[in-house]
Chains A and B, each alone.
Chain A
Amino acid sequence: DAGITQSPRHKVTETGTPVTLRCHQTENHRYMYWYRQDPGHGLRLIHYSYGVKDTDKGEVSDGYSVSRSKTEDFLLTLESATSSQTSVYFCAISANQRDEQYFGPGTRLTVT
């Protein structure tokens, strides 16, 4: 298995609170991605990174921000969580932009 961990694995939080999810990799891959997965929508890209301090928006980036200060860590922040952000969040990594992506175990976030 690719060395990808996500923390926390489960979180319940209240509307309006900030939340940060962490993705950590041990593969030294250049690309890192954050997706959310919801019934009927499949995997939707939130943000991705193509190097340290290099990030770009995905399909559903509103309400989310990211940071990557080290190759191995990619953080996803919900500045003020809303109930619509209740979802399962997956981190993925790839060596190059067209290579296969390897996924982490996911974080199940519930915003009440």
Chain B
Amino acid sequence: QKEVEQDPGPLSVPEGAIVSLNCTYSNSAFQYFMWYRQYSRKGPELLMYTYSSGNKEDGRFTAQVDKSSKYISLFIRDSQPSDSATYLCASVSGSARQLTFGSGTQLTVLP
């Protein structure tokens, strides 16, 4: 079992929809959580970085961490065609030197 599991999709939604992207993790030592966005043929870029449980909001994006259930979510409000990309979740423990990535969810927002 991978330490970070992510539904690969693909996920297709109409413009303006609320998108929910999810990951689960198995390592209780994970403390830091990130979401990356990757456009086709580009490198991943950081969207959100959170520590501990709770919500973090940045514009149309909200990252949510529930450590009790080991669940990570990214919500996108008022989705736009420009949000079409692959979204990767990642986690790291306090002592580790490396991130553990999910396999990514491919999202398409239809105009």
Which residues from chain A sit less than 8 Å from chain B, CB to CB?
31, 33, 40-45, 48, 50, 56, 58, 90, 97-98, 100-106
The interface residues of chain A lying within 8 Å CB-to-CB of B97 are 31, 48, 50, 56, 97
Most buried by A among B49, B99, B102: B99
Interface of A is mostly: strand
Interface centre among A44, A90, A101 (most CB of B within 10 A): A101
A-B interface contact total, Cβ < 8 Å? 48
Interface residues of B (CB under 8 A from A): 6, 8, 31-32, 34, 36, 41-46, 49, 88, 92, 94, 96-99, 101-104
Check if B98 sits within 8 Å of A43, measured CB to CB. no
Are the CB atoms of A101 and B99 closer together than 8 Å? yes
* Chain B residues with CB below 8 A from A104, complex form: 43
Partner of B102, one of A42, A97, A100, A101: A42
Known: A33-B98, A43-B88, A58-B98. A103 touches B43 (CB 8 A): yes
In the assembled complex, the Cα of A18 lies from the Cα of B17 at a distance in Å of 48
